[in-house]
Amino acid sequence: MNSTVGFALLLSTLAGLSTTLGSLLGIFVHQPGPRFMTLTLGFSGGVMILVSFVELLHGGIEAIGFAPAHLAFFGGMGAMFLIDALIPHDYMAEQHHTEEEKRQGQLLKTGLFVALGIGIHNFPEGMAAFAGALEDPSLGIAIAVAIALHNIPEGLAVSAPVYAATGSRAKAFWWSFLSGVAEPVGAGLAALVLMPFLNETVLGFVLAAVAGVMVFISLDELVPVARSLGEEHLSIVGVASGMMVMAFSLWMLR
């Protein structure tokens, strides 16, 4: 049993830290331009939206029913709205700031929001990968691969805007790393504390609420910022591409 637990924790850790692969793509592209940023943010928004509706909300509905799942979904959106409203916006309103400085501030805020959303999203994913591996190692591997596939562009969505706003590769990598660490943390808590109490109903509420968080981030942060970079048509190309890649990866793993 101990070896199975160790294997399950290892899978969750590797899947979560695949965000660092995406972060490396973001921070080693020399001075990411508006076209690169537009495609990146749009792509990541498409990934998040499709995963939220096809996997997370759908899983919540199957676990707890249509109405409770949607209440949790809109509760997640409401929680993110409060977080967004409570974050100071003074740096965006000061008149002496140039347009470039305002854009950098918005990019930094976007990157940190994405890191928060991905961290929240990765927490139950860690539990899912852990529980799947305990039941069947091959099932755990399949879940971990699916998680890793969409964690790579998510890591890119964190690191690219943070690097573009701050010019610091270390900060960009660190925030991406932290968002991925939430996954093995979720698996560890599942192993130490939650496994005796975790049931389908609790997980259903969590998945639906996380879907609301991810949709809010995509529609309030990723897509608007992508369009604001002056490459409007590329933003929808990025969104559609992200959805197609995520749908194909989920289909291949079913």
Q: Where are the domains of the chain?
A: 2-252
Decide: 124 and 203 in contact? Cβ < 8 Å: yes
pLDDT tens for the chain, residues 1 to 254: 456 777 878 888 888 888 787 777 767 765 557 787 788 778 878 888 888 898 889 988 998 999 999 999 999 899 888 877 775 443 233 333 445 555 566 666 666 776 776 677 677 667 667 766 765 676 677 667 667 765 776 677 777 777 777 777 787 788 778 778 877 887 787 777 666 766 778 778 877 887 888 888 888 877 887 887 766 688 899 899 989 987 887 787 66
pLDDT at residue 254 in the model = 65
Tell me the whole-structure pTM to 2 decimals: 0.65
Residue labelled with tokens 């294997």: 7
Distances (CA, A) of 21 to 47, 68, 152: 16, 36, 6
Nearest to 10 by CA among 139, 126, 147, 156: 126
Decide: 8 and 129 in contact? Cβ < 8 Å: yes
pLDDT at residue 92 in the model = 33
